[in-house]
Amino acid sequence: MSNKIIGILGGMGPEATVYLFDLIVKMTEANRDQEHIPIIIYNNPKIPHRTNAILKGTSSPLTFLIEGAKFLENAGAGFIVMPCVTAHYFYSEIVKNIKIPFLHLIEETYDYVKKEFPRLKKIGLLATLGTVKTDLFQEFFEKGGMKIVIPNEKDQNKVMEAIYSSKGIKAGYKNGLPKDLLMEVARNLINKKDCEAIIAGCTEVPLALKKDDLTVPFINPLEIIAYKSIEMAGYKIRKNNF
C-alpha cells in the first residue's frame, strides 16, 4: 500500500485538533523526522457552532466544512479525518462534495468497540447536546446490540457546562470545574445506570477526563481514529502505545 497524506478537518475546537495531531505523532512508529507521516491540518475555528445550528437553526457550518474538505483534497490529502463528533451530523453532505475517503469517527469507534469489547451491553455517553439529540452514536451502536445510555437532563447540562462555560474546556480549562463535572456525570452513569463503559462522545472530553479517572473502560474516539489514520496512511503503530 502506498503512503498517503492525512488531512485533518479541524478547528472544532482547536485544542481537540492539536490533540489528534499529537496522538498521531506519538503513536506512529518513527525514530526520526523523516519517518513520520505528512499531515495537512485545516484549522478553522470560525466554523459556526454545530450544536446551535442543529438544535436552534443558527448559521449552518456545512458550507465551511465542505470548503475545508475541498481545501484538504486539493492540497494533496489522501483521506480526511475530522476531530469533532457533532460535526459528523453533516458527514453525508460533506462526502458528496469530495472524491477522497473520509473516515467516519463514530463508525470507526463502533468497529473498534465491537472488536475489543464484544460483551459490552450498556455504554454511557458524554457528549454535546447536539450529538445526544441527533442519535449519532445510537445509530451505529444499537444496531450492534449495545445500548447507548445518555445522562439525565440535569447531568447533560453539566456536560455542556464542562465544555462550553467560561471556565470550561473550550475556554482552556482542563482541571477544576470541567473535570469535576465530567467525573460526576460519569460516576452517575456507572453507578446509577449500570454503564459498563464510558465514551468520550465529544472530542473535548478526553482533554479533561482520562482513562485512569474511571473504574470502567474509557473509550476515546480520537485515539481510535488516530490509530486508524496511521494504518490508512500506510505506516506502523508504535508498540505499547495504544
C-alpha cell read off for 229: 489514520
Please report, as a single letter, which amino acid is at residue 114: K
Measured in residues, the chain has a length of 242
Which pairs from 153-162 meet CB under 8 Å and 24+ separation? 155/184, 155/185, 155/188, 155/189, 156/129, 156/132, 156/185, 158/182, 158/184, 158/185, 159/126, 159/127, 159/128, 159/185, 159/202, 160/128, 160/129, 162/205, 162/208
Side-chain-side CA neighbours of residue 231 (13 Å): 9
Contact 149, 176 (CB under 8 A): no
Q: At residue 8, what are phi and psi to the nearest 5 degrees?
A: -105, 115
The residues annotated as belonging to the active site are 84, 202
Given a contact cutoff of 8 angstroms between Cβ atoms, the answer to whether 73 and 8 are in contact is no
Say which residues have a Cβ less than 8 Å from residue 169's Cβ, sequence separation at least 6. 15, 162, 163, 178, 204, 205, 207, 208
Query: Would you say 97 and 74 are in contact if contact means Cβ atoms under 8 Å apart?
Result: no
CA dist., res. 32 & res. 13, Å (int): 29
Cell numbers representing residue 189 in the block: 452513569
